Amino acid sequence: MSYLYYPGCSLTSSAREYDLATRAVMAAAGVNLTEIDDWTCCGASAAAPISHLLSLSLSARNLALAEQTASDGQVLVPCSACYLNLKKAHDALRNDAESRATINDALEAVNLKATGSVRVRHLLDVLAVDLGERHLAPLVTRSLSGLTVAPYYGCQCLRPYPEFDDPERPVSMEPLIEATGAAVHPWEMGARCCGASLVSTQPEVGLERVFAILKAAKGADLIVTVCPMCQMNLDAWQARASRMAGEKLSITVLYLPQLLGLAMGLASHELGLDLNLAVLGDFREKITHL
Amino acid sequence: MNPQSVTTLPTAEESSESLDPIRAMVSACIQCGTCTGSCPNALEMDLTPRKMWRLVILGRLSAVMESKTFILCSDCYTCTLRCPRGLPLTEAMEALKGIAFARKEARHRGSRLFYEKFMETVRRHGRIREMEFMTRYFIAMKSPVAPFRFAPLGLKLMGKGKVELGGGKSGDTPLGALFEKVADLERTPAATFRKEGHQ
Ligand code: SF4
Ligand code: SF4
């Protein structure tokens, strides 16, 4: 199995551990990743309100570069916001001749051309569908039995494109968590919004979303995420959300490939565990005794 | 909730032309309220999404711009997924942000600067440098308290070596040419785009 790899900006800075863990788990599963050369920002959620065409063109630039490397390739994207932007550009290039023409007019300025021939895949899609428990379970060398994991999916890997899971009641992480030996925390918050950029721009509203999720995760040993924005909202803002709620809400938050990597016996430095902002002492304790 | 009536017809002096594309997106709304019931942020909004769409259809531009509703949309796509008419509601919220930013509405200044400074960093470097972007944002905000909101997080990230301090190993591909070409194309009115996916 091989994929073109689009890390996106967050994975080079605030979410470096997501990048490390993704690469480490894929390598351990025998999957080959080729990083798209000279990739640039997808525009995040900031480009679209300023210009719809700019947003599509920024993403299409990356798809054009991917096509140059492998015209029938698949682009693996770990960040949900990047995933949705690339997917929208792919959709416009594939399914709308007029948009395709305008986007390519724009790309002419940087000497590129995109057709939409490469497929855009979220990391969770690849982990759950292409690899699945059948490929991952045999790689588990250290059972995480005794841990309870709350799977947090967030929004943009599920909606508006329901590619690989139920966009209202997602379940794709469950077999993967169970393959590690851990139990799944039963909750209804897996697909509820984390507040996204509101946590930065309108904190009094955004932190309410964070608080509701952390509260519902009580009883679990950790939350796993598949998006740097969700991760940052749930780990970096825990203290503020707790203060606002007048209730202690600390919980360990890992990226899904970090959890899988632990079960596959990968070392914590390979998974960037020391870079996480919320790994509690009792969690560390638990995993060292597994 | 804002008690203002949503059934008043638009006043003659208000030109609502900029709302037209968004009006077209939501014109099939049947006012069922599914969007409001689905929205995680509806309780904090001054107008519910359903009422907002009604005002958009009526062309009440100033009433729409006075609201914080679209600024409080966190792009979760739940309303888009559930709307029984299949309307591209998240994209319509995004477009309303765009109108407010273009009008430089004073009440949405903080959010506008956040988006603009973000895009400025992308234009200069091709990738986001979190520290540079946050610094530009706070300078533009001219708010003495804004940096303190970010400081604890900024220090945490720096302590973990998670902040780019410039000149690092990450690429630097200025995108000025692409930004300018897009701006040129947008000055010619032909461009229309397919709306967000419903499959
Ligand atoms: S869910 Fe759709 S049809 Fe119903 S009120 Fe909202 S926009 Fe209108
Ligand atoms: S996309 Fe925006 S308006 Fe729609 S439900 Fe989510 S936050 Fe509310």
- Indicate the domain borders of chain A: 2-122, 132-288
- The pLDDT assigned to B14 comes to 56
Q: Does domain A2-122 have CATH number 3.40.50.1100?
A: no
Domain that holds residue B137: 108-159
- B75 and B54, same domain (yes or no): yes
Domain tally for chain B? 2
Residue B6 lies in a domain: no
- The pLDDT assigned to B167 comes to 44
Ligand nearest to the CA of A155: 2
Over residues A31-72, the pLDDT tens digits come to 999 999 999 999 998 999 999 999 999 999 999 999 999 999
For residues A47 and A17, the answer to whether their CB atoms sit within 8 Å is no
Six-digit token string for A89: 């550009």
Chain A residue closest in CA terms to B192:
A99
User: pLDDT at residue A270 above 90?
Assistant: yes
Which of B25, B56, B78 most suits a substitution to test ligand 2, by most atoms within 8 Å of the C-beta?
B78
- The pLDDT assigned to B4 comes to 47
Chain A residue closest in CA terms to B126:
A40
What is the interface pTM, i.e. ipTM, of the complex?
A: 0.95
d(CA A18, CA A228): 8
Among A129, A61, A54, residue whose Cα is nearest residue B184: A54
Residue B51's pLDDT band, with cuts at 50, 70 and 90, is: very high
Is the CB of A195 less than 8 angstroms away from the CB of B115?
A: no
Mind telling me how many Å the CA of B152 is from chain A's nearest CA? 9
CA dist list (Å): A254 to A223, A249, A262 = 6, 16, 11
Residue B40 lies in a domain: yes
Last residue in a domain, options B103, B124, B147? B103
- B99 and B27, same domain (yes or no): yes
Q: Is the CB of B39 under 6 A from ligand 2?
A: yes
Over residues A188-206, the pLDDT tens digits come to 999 999 999 898 888 899 9
Residues of A numbered 123-152 whose beta carbons fall under 8 angstroms of chain B's beta carbons: which are they?
A: none
* Alpha carbon nearest to ligand 2 atom 2, residue: B73
**Helix (H) or strand (E) run with residue A62 in it:** helix A52-69
Position with higher pLDDT, B145 vs A183: A183
- B115 and B84, same domain (yes or no): no
User: pLDDT at residue B157 above 90?
Assistant: no
DSSP annotation of B168: S
3-state SS assignment for residue A39: coil
Ligand nearest to the CA of B22: 1
- Other C-beta atoms within 10 Å of B132: how many? 18
Q: CATH number of the domain at A132-288, please?
A: 3.40.50.11810
Which of B70, B89, B96 most suits a substitution to test ligand 2, by most atoms within 8 Å of the C-beta?
B89
Q: Which residues contact A19 (CB under 8 A, 6 or more apart)?
A: A7, A11, A12, A78, A272
- B24 and B96, same domain (yes or no): yes
d(CA A174, CA A159): 19
Chain B residue closest in CA terms to A235:
B153
Residues from chain A contacting residue B114 (CB–CB below 8 Å): 46, 197, 200-201
Q: pTM of the entire structure? A: 0.92
Looking at A28-32, A44-48, B79-83, B89-93, which range is the least confident one?
Answer: A44-48
Six-digit token string for A159: 């909606």
Rounded mean pLDDT, A64-93: 98
Residue B124 lies in a domain: yes
